[in-house]
Amino acid sequence: MRGGIDVQRKRLYLILIGFIIIVIGLNVFWLIKFKQSPVKAGMMPNTSSQITNNKEKQRILNIPPVLKPDSTDANNVYYTLRAQTGMTQLVSGEKTKTYGYNGPFLGPTIRVERGQNIHIHTQNRLKQATSFHWHGAILDDSSDGGPHQTVAAGQNKLISFKVNQPAATLWYHPHAVGSTASQVYNGLAGFLLVDDQNSRQLKLPRNYGKDDFPIVVQDRSFDKNNQLDYKKIVSSNGTLGNTLLINGTQNPYIETTTKYVRLRLLNGSNAREYTFKLDDRSSFYQISTDGGFLKKPVQENKITLAPGERAEIVVDLGHYSQGSQVKLKSADSNILTMKVKNNHDGETKLPRQLTNLQTVTKSGQKVTQNIALSDMGHMVSINNRQFSMNRIDLKVKQNTTQVWKIRNKNNMMGEIHPFHIHGVQFRLLSINNNASPSNMHGWKDTIMTRPGNQYKILIKFTQTGVFMYHCHNLEHEEAGMMGQIRVVP
């Protein structure tokens, strides 16, 4: 009996020692290859390392202006969007060299209506190539702004598309191979809001900048001269900053005058995820996912968003006293302070139904495509392959129903991979074969996959051409965690 235990114990020790050797080996390999330690950044970078803003003095929230059309005729709307460099006061002291659209940092909010034909004169005034990608927009590949549609330094390009999807909070950012992560980090990102008949008649807060706020959350690090030095801070498993910027503002506040306040949350960070909650743990209502309204408002007291994901929430300030400060937080960090000046204007009741979204069920759906996400040994891949511009990885027929099983393969020390597909909105069928929570029942274009879990999604590609699917941890994307799908008529 005793001998049996010893043998078992010996075996366990051997397995343990073997495992330790493998881990050390991989780290040494990484150190030699990239001259940086993966351990330094943390094995689970998207959740570790502290950020806090609370000691900063409160500043009024910067609200990106709504982009004015150059002209309109009939159903056509013309805009100009210029990628440029600039100087921005992001932290106290010296200004920071930044990138922006039509200004020094971030971009204006582009507000379009379903049915409109949008024409955007894009201009690249950077010293490097960029592209203009419309994240979450359903459009054909020539307008998508992916890696095949770059605009060279100093060049212009006209992008046209018809808005043909329900009201939603989408966004835009660059997508050129090798520079997506650094250009986003330097400030290239903006909101693209879609309105439709339904969103215009729903009794929801919709006065932009008054009771309806775009909120992009980003973490950045500044060097001693207040500069963003992407090359210095980049970490191959996801770049994290130690300073939080909300629409480019540190520790921001808004003054509220209505009972309900709508926050359009966008995680625009390169790699960090956030779990948003109110500091008194009160609940709020989630009304949308990435691609549009949920069927009904879902009451919850926290929401987690991975890079690329959006959610609109409505906070009921009716039960706070005037003069109180209600804080939206992520962990211990302030995201937004709502100073209640008045709380009985605006809508008095939220709609019970938001849209007539069809219910999808997990039963009877056959998997048509397996997607395996892996970061084993710091080598990120999709289905064991790394991105190549010259290779089409998948092919599907337009308008056919697809079920993808997306598996985050790594159990131990794995990372979160926000999986994003271009040119399409999909629905989540199940997580580990269980029904998904009701706040995830809406349209999605990015799904956070956690280590060891599998996600089934239902997709119908309605547009033809070559589209990207990739991890929205931008450093993973740059390291090759991306593939191409051709949709054929």
Rg (CA), the chain: 23
Q: Using the rule CB under 5 A, give the single segment among 43-51, 172-180, 434-442, 463-471 that binds Cu ion.
A: 463-471
Q: Is 180 in the site for Cu ion (CB under 5 A)?
A: no
Q: Which of 331, 333, 295, 329 is nearest to 315 (CA)?
A: 329
Q: Using the rule CB under 5 A, give the single segment among 87-95, 106-114, 391-399, 472-480 that binds Cu ion.
A: 472-480
Distance of closest approach, residue 27 Cβ to Cu ion, in angstroms: 19
Q: What is the Cα–Cα distance from 130 to 108, expressed in whole angstroms?
A: 17
CB 179 within 8 A of CB 475: no
Distance of closest approach, residue 471 Cβ to Cu ion, in angstroms: 3
- Give the residue carrying structure tokens 């131990």: 412
Q: What SS3 string covers 398-409? A: CCCEEEEEEEEC
Q: Is 441 in the site for Cu ion (CB under 5 A)?
A: no
Binds Cu ion by CB under 5 A, chosen from 262, 417, 441, 456: 417
- Residue count, binding to Cu ion (CB under 5 A): 4
Cα-Cα end-to-end distance for the chain: 68
CB 185 within 8 A of CB 98: no
User: Which one, 130 or 473, has the nearer CB to Cu ion?
Assistant: 473
User: Which one, 237 or 330, has the nearer CB to Cu ion?
Assistant: 237
Distance of closest approach, residue 24 Cβ to Cu ion, in angstroms: 24
User: Which one, 414 or 442, has the nearer CB to Cu ion?
Assistant: 414
Residues 313-342 close enough to bind Cu ion by CB under 5 A: none
Q: What is the Cα–Cα distance from 74 to 344, expressed in whole angstroms?
A: 39
User: Which one, 310 or 417, has the nearer CB to Cu ion?
Assistant: 417
- Which distant-in-sequence residues (6+ apart) come within 8 Å of 294 by Cβ? 286, 287, 288, 354, 355, 357, 438, 439, 441, 442
User: Which one, 272 or 417, has the nearer CB to Cu ion?
Assistant: 417
User: Which one, 236 or 473, has the nearer CB to Cu ion?
Assistant: 473
Binds Cu ion by CB under 5 A, chosen from 249, 473, 478, 479: 473
User: Which one, 216 or 474, has the nearer CB to Cu ion?
Assistant: 474
Q: Is 471 in the site for Cu ion (CB under 5 A)?
A: yes
Q: Using the rule CB under 5 A, give the single segment among 178-186, 360-368, 399-407, 465-473 that binds Cu ion.
A: 465-473
- Which distant-in-sequence residues (6+ apart) come within 8 Å of 270 by Cβ? 181, 184, 185, 219, 238, 239, 240, 307, 473, 474, 475
Question: Interior CA angle at 175 toward 170 and 178, to 5°?
Answer: 150
Q: Using the rule CB under 5 A, give the single segment among 133-141, 183-191, 399-407, 414-422 that binds Cu ion.
A: 414-422
User: Which one, 312 or 375, has the nearer CB to Cu ion?
Assistant: 375
Binds Cu ion by CB under 5 A, chosen from 476, 479, 482, 485: 476
Q: Is 468 in the site for Cu ion (CB under 5 A)?
A: no
Q: Using the rule CB under 5 A, give the single segment among 336-344, 382-390, 422-430, 464-472 that binds Cu ion.
A: 464-472
Q: Using the rule CB under 5 A, give the single segment among 98-106, 197-205, 213-221, 470-478 that binds Cu ion.
A: 470-478
Distance of closest approach, residue 147 Cβ to Cu ion, in angstroms: 17
User: Which one, 382 or 394, has the nearer CB to Cu ion?
Assistant: 382
User: What DSSP letter does each residue of 354-369 carry, written as one string?
Assistant: ---PPP--STT----E
Distance of closest approach, residue 415 Cβ to Cu ion, in angstroms: 6
User: Which one, 405 or 476, has the nearer CB to Cu ion?
Assistant: 476
Environment class of residue 488 by beta-carbon count within 10 Å: exposed (0-12), middle (13-18) or buried (19+)? Answer: exposed
- Which distant-in-sequence residues (6+ apart) come within 8 Å of 82 by Cβ? 101, 102, 122, 123, 124, 125
29 to 373, 479, 481: CA distances (angstroms): 21, 16, 20
- Which distant-in-sequence residues (6+ apart) come within 8 Å of 259 by Cβ? 316, 317, 318, 343, 344, 345, 346, 347, 348
CB 465 within 8 A of CB 486: yes
Distance of closest approach, residue 271 Cβ to Cu ion, in angstroms: 8
User: Which one, 444 or 476, has the nearer CB to Cu ion?
Assistant: 476
> Which residues are at the interface with Cu ion (CB under 5 A)?
417, 471, 473, 476
